[in-house]
Structure 1
Amino acid sequence: MHYPEDVKRAAAAATERLGPLPAGAVGLVAGTGLGGIAGKLEHCRDMATGDIPGFPAATAPGHAGRLVYGTMGTACPPGDPQGSIEETMPAAGAGPDGSSRPVALLSGRLHLYEGHSPRDVAFGVRLLAALGVRQLILTNAAGALDPHFTAGGLMRVTDHLNLTGRNPLVGPNDDALGPRFPDMSRAYSPRLGAVADACALSLGLRLERGVYAGVLGPSLETPAETRMLRLLGADAVGMSTVTEVIAARHLGMEVLAVSCLTNVNLPDCMAETTLEAVLATAKRAEGDLARLLAAVIPAV
């Protein structure tokens, strides 16, 4: 893959098919079992990512492989007791009535465990950036490691551990995309995190906060691995997101990530789980996630 030419060609094809992405659009990537969020968008037009030149094919179950343009959201109401919510909710980029925001949604993502290279996995994020997206929201299905978390809950990612052994920036750096050594001290935007926290509070949703461990997969963790991850400081574990975040920060994008906690990994009493169970729990949590995103997106 030859960056940035391939990314530019993909963006041109998407623009030809779907029209120009409105200014101020938020990028959204839907994780395993969470593609139904596309149904919450209004004024949609979409295309298969397989019709975008250079876009690798997604093979993971629960990933539709579509690029969707639409609008979403009603901003969460300002006015919390400390008066802090208004400060995190600029009106810039909202819809003409202040209640919605244009969205470019990737329904389905690529994973390293499918055999894709890190650059392939990052292609969707780089496409969104080429289309004009500057704020990126990533969602994923993850196993909870903190015993205080519950299956079906939501966690805002505050930081991550890249345990995949891969990085999309390995190799010659393309200065047109970003610097050779991008700073990752604030990989997840404190500003967007504050917006998400404020909106969750307004909606009465419990939004945990924690560190996400990104692993290669596709096998699930053993009890010893689960114990190790917890000792390293991880609060949840999954097989996506970190590659995309690294690519997004390389591009200078603001990032927010939210995990749907599909099960709780307790190393001393590990319960077996299956993909079917993960998808079912993600589906149950999808409603709360959609409510949160509908409030967050017009506020960012």
Structure 2
Amino acid sequence: MDQLLAKIDEAAAYIRSKIAAVPQVGLILGSGLGVMADEVQDPIVIPYGDIPHFPVSTVEGHSGELVVGRLENKTVLVMKGRFHYYEGYTMKEVVFPVYVMKRLGIDALLVTNAAGGMKRGFAAGDLMLITDHINYTGSNPLIGANIPELGPRFPDMSSAYDKEFRALAASKAEELGIKLQQGVYVSISGPTYCTPAELKMLASWGADAVGMSTAPEVIAANYCGVRTVGLTCITDMAIGEELEPLTHEQVVRVAAEARPRFIALVKATVNGMNV
């Protein structure tokens, strides 16, 4: 585990050598939402492949760049594309960037994703504020020996998505006239989409949206003391009784259509963060 800490510090040192300011807020952008990084002013772009020990994105809609600059009134560190368990990475590799962000100085993390809507009343193109999550990936990024320098052995998850940040995002959506659903996000391993029977089971557990990311990163963020807020773009409806065929291209297309509202809400939320 000392080796993991050394890798985190090496990656952080490389990024630090490329930037002048200390990042305050981290952003992880999901499928089709990477265009948000284009809003960053005075950007410094660092390809993932240049960062020591960083994984590389392999999924369409995840370009694989770290962008550091100003967004609203904050110095932000933006992941333009994330890593997924289904790509073959270990959970520790999936969340490695979160630890690097923490080492660089971020106090807050805004995670985004594209997901299937499981709640009647949702519609493709809706934005959803994540109130909580269910980790159904079959693993956990904290399995293994604990690293006290990063966090406690048994981290609390009673408020995994920061209550103050959730209230902030909801109020900003109201100010902007953006319809914002709220619900529980369930993370599955992927890469297959769910069967109707699986969706019925997950809905019975209280899940409102289903996707293949986010929970591991939020677990890692809470572990190392980073306050987190999550926004989902509902790209399709995933109701077991009414399930229709789905492709990744469809997911990316609907996410693109929601971009103007997504960008406006993310910028307003970042602006209002007290960090």
Same fold flag (TM > 0.5): yes
Query: Residue 14 of structure 2 aligns with which residue?
Result: 13
Deviation at 1:61?
Answer: 1.4
Deviation at 1:182?
Answer: 0.1
2:139 aligned with 1:163: no
Report if the CA contact (8 A) 1:262-1:281 is conserved: yes
Residues in 1 aligned to 2:269 and 2:19: alpha-carbon distance in whole angstroms: 24
Query: Residue 184 of structure 2 aligns with which residue?
Result: 211
Report if the CA contact (8 A) 1:142-1:260 is conserved: yes
Give the counterpart of 2:171 among 198, 201, 219: 198
2:130 aligned with 1:152: no
In structure 1, give the amino acid aligned to 2:67: V
| Larger CA deviation: 232-241 vs 260-269 | 260-269
Report if the CA contact (8 A) 1:72-1:101 is conserved: yes
Residues in 1 aligned to 2:46 and 2:53: alpha-carbon distance in whole angstroms: 14
Report if the CA contact (8 A) 1:18-1:47 is conserved: no
Residue 89 of structure 2 aligns to a residue whose secondary structure is coil
Deviation at 1:20?
Answer: 3.9
Report if the CA contact (8 A) 2:11-2:53 is conserved: yes
Give the counterpart of 2:255 among 258, 261, 282: 282
Query: Residue 292 of structure 1 aligns with which residue?
Result: 265
Give the counterpart of 1:252 among 201, 225, 231: 225
Deviation at 1:271?
Answer: 1.2
Report if the CA contact (8 A) 1:10-1:55 is conserved: yes
Normalized against structure 1, the TM-score is what?
0.89
Residue 186 of structure 1 aligns to a residue whose secondary structure is coil
Report if the CA contact (8 A) 2:21-2:75 is conserved: no
Report if the CA contact (8 A) 1:262-1:278 is conserved: yes
Residues in 1 aligned to 2:105 and 2:4: alpha-carbon distance in whole angstroms: 17
RMSD: 1.0
Q: Which has the higher helix share?
A: 2
Q: Pick the structure with greater CA Rg.
A: 1
Give the counterpart of 1:130 among 103, 110, 114: 103
Residues in 2 aligned to 1:151 and 1:205: alpha-carbon distance in whole angstroms: 15
Report if the CA contact (8 A) 2:132-2:185 is conserved: yes
Report if the CA contact (8 A) 1:144-1:263 is conserved: yes
Deviation at 1:266?
Answer: 2.1
**Structure 1 residue runs of 4 or more that deviate by more than 3 Å after TM superposition:** none
Residue 268 of structure 1 aligns to a residue whose secondary structure is helix
Query: Residue 60 of structure 1 aligns with which residue?
Result: 59
Normalized against structure 2, the TM-score is what?
0.97
Aligned residues: 272
Residues in 2 aligned to 1:152 and 1:285: alpha-carbon distance in whole angstroms: 6
Query: Residue 81 of structure 1 aligns with which residue?
Result: none
Residues in 2 aligned to 1:46 and 1:228: alpha-carbon distance in whole angstroms: 42
Deviation at 1:3?
Answer: 2.4
Percentage of identical aligned residues: 41
5 Å-filtered alignment, 1:12-91, equals: 12-22=13-23, 25-73=24-72
Residue 231 of structure 2 aligns to a residue whose secondary structure is strand
Deviation at 1:58?
Answer: 1.4
2:226 aligned with 1:226: no
Q: How far does the alpha carbon of each residue in 1:149-198 deviate from its partner, in whole angstroms, 9 at most, with x for none?
A: 01001001111110001111000000000000000000000000010011
